[in-house]
Every structure is written in structure tokens, then in C-alpha cells.
Amino acid sequence: MIETGYVQVLTAFFLVVIAFVLSRIKSIPVEKEIAYGSIRTFIQLIAVGYALEFIFKSESLYLVLLSVFIMLLVAAYTAGQRARHFKGGFAISFISLSIGSLITLGLMLVLKIISPEARYIIPLTGMIISNSMNAISITFDRIGSDLKNNRLEVETALSLGKSWREASQRFYRDAVRAGMISILNFMKTAGIVALPGAMTGMILAGVSPLKAVLIQVIVAYMLLSSLTISSIVAGEIVIRKFFNDAEQFTG
Amino acid sequence: MSSCQDSVILEARNVSRQIVANGNSKKTVDSFSYTFHKGDVYNIIGPSGAGKTSFLRLLNRLDDPSEGELLYQNKPLVSYQPTEIRKNLSLIFQEPYLFPGTVGSNMEYCKSDCTEDEIEFHLEQVGLNSQFAGKDVSELSVGEKQRVAIARSLLLKPEILLLDEPTAALDPTSSQTIELLILSLMKEFCLTAIMVTHNPEQAKRMGGKTLLMVSGRLIENGDTSELLTNPKTEQGQKYIRRELK
């Protein structure tokens, strides 16, 4: 087992130097980003490490809930930035991420898949929210661009007496599917193309591979559930924003 | 076939449509008033940007007026369910959009319970034989697509056909075939046709009444032959002279 400490981290910084030097030689304009990014990663993760240590030791439910709320806020803000084609991206992101993650997490607690401890809830919620955030960002982008680029198709359907839901059904389905594609691809190739991050982390931390695999399977199912719920909720809310009560396309 | 009476079917009362584009407010349709009668053909002519298509979109309720009122069979257009009224006032777009699949599946999309006989009947009405039902829409010419779009609309049993430059992408021969088709369908099904065209020659061939729009306003209307030969307004005279040259 690797003994990980600050010495190992500093040694690993050599890898950053390789990336920095290579990009400099090849005149790829990312030196600043590499420098800032690597330092920022270090500071952010160390800070998070101390925060988690504190929360885990305190065993305070309020601190756990606060952490989840902050994660939801930041993720909703980030996904909301992708809402180029409509207003209210932040609110829609917050609602869909909350519903997706809370239902999934709630079920995992109720079904006793995990125990209600900070050391389970916080990292798993982080995984759920970050993956769902990426999924709804894609759903947002896809719905907006597809509807706008296919105005004639949508309005033809409306002009033939179809409801807004019928006229936009194809775009809604495509957008939700696009949001889910990452988890669907992951499940197809898990363990074959790459070892998933959570599983790798556990193996590196000394957990037996068989146990790590079981946990990873739970993580995959958990992500599937939260991504599906979040993408569907986001798609449902967003698509309605492109139509008014008179079944007119306003996009 | 129902009897084709010369009753009022549609009325526009001081209708305007205001839009905001790039921060600027603009009236695409401005104080438009007119009464349409059942069974007649109406040509809406005028230069590009005159508001012809915008007006048709209001009739199909793809948009609503910002001011004024549209009445269909003496009732406000907005009092009808949009999904129902759009079947009565069927809009044929300039570039017909057919859904991926076969001609038959496009017809079924319009009316899920339509029978093969119904599909064949309506295809024949637009001059396409029954074998077209199985054809993939990607194999059709623009003219055939336009015919399928018309057949598809006929399935909905509309009272009014709203035609937005339906022959704009067609060669002169195909254009005249579509024009004759529209006129014969009007007689067959007792339809009212409101057709946007930028071509006064086409309006002349269609006959009926003609409405001239400029900058969103209806500046002149009357019998087509009378309006095209003897426009009353200076704007009308300039436009007709230029277009018929």
C-alpha cells in the first residue's frame, strides 16, 4: 500500500512540471492554466479535506445538510450557466438536481444501502450532484439548440393540430437521452475500458478489490437513478418554457 | 360534399402584431381589417417584409395579434382550442416539412386512425397514385412534397387552406399544376383559400380577390383582375407596375 503524505504530493508535482514544459515547448497556450490549476487543485482539495475531517468528527446533521446545500447551489449555478436558450437556468437546475439527488440518496438511506453517516452521505452526494450537473447541462444545451434549429418541424406539427407536447416530444427524448449518455456509456464499459474513479480510490486506499467492485456497482446504479431523474425533471421544466398556453412556439 | 355558401367565415378587425427584434419594436401586421367569405380564393400580395406570412401565422394561431381581433365563424379565434382551430385553418408552409418516414406515416401522423383507403383517396386528390403511400419522403421532389403536405392537411378536413407561397420553390410548370390543384380542391371540398404570393401573375391566374399589403398594412383590396389592372393607391400602382413588368 502506498503511504501518502505531503512528500508524495510534492513528488507528484514533477508530473505537473512535465505537462508545463511540454506545453511550453509546443507553444500550446495553457501554461498559466496549468500553473493556476495545479495550485488551485492542491489548495481546494486540502481545504475540503480539512472541512470533511471536521464534519466527520463533529457528526452534526446540520453540517451535513449545509454541505449538501452548498454542493447543490454551486452545481445549480454551474449548470445554469449552460442555459443559453432560456431564462431561469439556475432555478431549474436547483430543482432538478435537488429532486434527483434527494430521491436517490433518500432511497439509499431508507433501503439501508448506506448508513446515515457523514462519511457516506457527503462523498456520495458529491458524486451524485456533480454527475447530474453534467447531465442536465447537456440536456439544457440539447433542448435549446434542437428546438431552435428545427423550428419548421415544431411549427409544422403545431399547425397540424398537435399539442406542444406532441410537437416537442422527439426533442425532449433526445435531450434527456443525451444527458444520460455518459452514465449509459460508463455502465457499458465499466471495468473494461477504465477502472472507475471511486473503485480505484478505494483499491489505492487498501480496500480489497472485490469489496471495491461491489461499492462501485452501487455507485453506478445510484448515478443512473439520479441522472435519469434529474435529466427528466430538467427536460420537463425546460421544454415547457419554449411554448405558451396557446400552444405556440416562443423559442 | 357540403354546400358552398357565400357566408362570412373569417374576419380581421383592426389586427396588429407587434414584435421586438434586437431591442426595436416593429409592427409586422398593422391595423389589418378585412372580411373573408366561404368558398372564395384570396391572394395576399405585397413586397418582401410586407407582413403577408405574419398575417397567415395569426390565422393559424402560431402567433396571436397584439391588438385587434380575429373572428372565425363569428366567434373570436382565441375562444377555440388552438389544437382544434389549427385543423380548421390549415397552414401549408412555403417549404413543406415532411416527418422522416414514408408518405403514409406522415398521413397517419396527422390522423392516427386514418385508413389506407383514406390515405389513397387524399393522395389521389392531389394527383399522386396510391403507391406513393409507401415511398420514403426523402425520395420525393419538392413539388411532390408540397402535394403530400396538401394531402396531409386535407385529411384534417379544413375549412380554410392557408397557403404561404406554396409554389415558391417550384418551376413554372409545377407551380401552375399546384395552382390548378388548389382551385379544384376548393371546388371539391368547398374550401376557402388564402394564399400568400409575391407574384401578381400568380394572383391573376388564381383569380378571386386580392389583398395588397405594404409595411404590415392592407393598403388595397378588391377583385383580382380589377386590382391588378387598376390599382387605386400610388403605392399599389408602383408595386403592380414593378412586379408585372
Domain-embedded: residue A249? no
Domain-embedded: residue B130? yes
> Residue A52: which of A132, A129, A140, A120 has the closest Cα?
A120
Question: Do A41 and A119 belong together in one domain?
Answer: no
Q: How many residues can be counted in chain B?
A: 245
pLDDT in tens, A62-92: 999 999 999 999 999 999 988 888 889 999 9
> What domain range is B117 assigned to?
3-240
Instruction: Count structural domains, chain A.
Output: 2
> What domain range is A180 assigned to?
63-240
What is the nearest CA distance from B153 to chain A, expressed in angstroms? Answer: 7
Contact A248 B82 (CB under 8 A): yes
Domain-embedded: residue B245? no
Domain-embedded: residue B88? yes
Question: Do A154 and A182 belong together in one domain?
Answer: yes
> Residue B240: which of B207, B222, B232, B51 has the closest Cα?
B232
pLDDT in tens, B22-52: 888 999 999 999 999 999 999 999 999 999 9
Domain-embedded: residue B24? yes
Question: Do A117 and A199 belong together in one domain?
Answer: yes
pLDDT given at position A205: 82
Question: Do A199 and A142 belong together in one domain?
Answer: yes
ipTM: 0.92
Domain-embedded: residue A2? yes
pLDDT given at position A2: 59
pLDDT value at A33 more than 60: yes
pLDDT in tens, B1-29: 445 667 999 999 999 999 988 888 999 99
Instruction: Count structural domains, chain B.
Output: 1
> Residue B30: which of B218, B216, B235, B221 has the closest Cα?
B216
Question: What's the whole-model pTM score?
Answer: 0.85
pLDDT given at position A142: 93
User: In whole angstroms, what is the distance from residue B157 CA to residue B155 CA?
Assistant: 5
**What is the arithmetic mean of pLDDT over B171-196?**
90
Shortest CB distance from A159 goes to which of B64, B78, B86? B86
Task: Please report which confidence band the pLDDT of residue A195 belongs to, taking 50, 70 and 90 as the band edges.
Answer: confident
- B244 vs A224, higher pLDDT: A224
Shortest CB distance from B87 goes to which of A161, A163, A248? A161
- Output the domain CATH number for residue B144: 3.40.50.300
pLDDT value at A170 more than 80: yes
Query: Which residues of A are less than 8 Å from B95 in CB distance?
Result: 152
pLDDT value at B119 more than 60: yes
Question: Do A87 and A194 belong together in one domain?
Answer: yes
Question: Do A184 and A85 belong together in one domain?
Answer: yes
pLDDT value at A194 more than 80: no
Question: Do A148 and A225 belong together in one domain?
Answer: yes
Domain-embedded: residue A215? yes
Question: Do A84 and A179 belong together in one domain?
Answer: yes
Name which of A151, A153, A156 to mutate to probe chain B: the one with the most chain B Cβ atoms within 10 A of its Cβ.
A156
Domain-embedded: residue A247? no
Average pLDDT of chain B, as a whole number: 92
CB-based contact A75:A227 (threshold 8 Å): no
**What is the arithmetic mean of pLDDT over A37-51?**
92
* Nearest-by-CA chain A residue for B154: A160
pLDDT in tens, A122-139: 999 999 999 999 999 999
Which residues on chain B place their C-beta less than 8 Å from a C-beta of chain A? 60-64, 78, 82-84, 86-87, 90-91, 93, 95-97, 99, 109-110, 152-153, 156
Q: Residue A1 gets which letter from DSSP?
A: -
pLDDT given at position B44: 97
Q: Residue A194 gets which letter from DSSP?
A: B
How many CB atoms are closer than 10 A to CB A12?
11
pLDDT in tens, B138-177: 999 988 999 999 999 999 999 999 999 998 888 888 888 8
Domain-embedded: residue B29? yes
Question: Do A39 and A89 belong together in one domain?
Answer: no
Q: Residue B170 gets which letter from DSSP?
A: S
Question: Do A67 and A43 belong together in one domain?
Answer: no
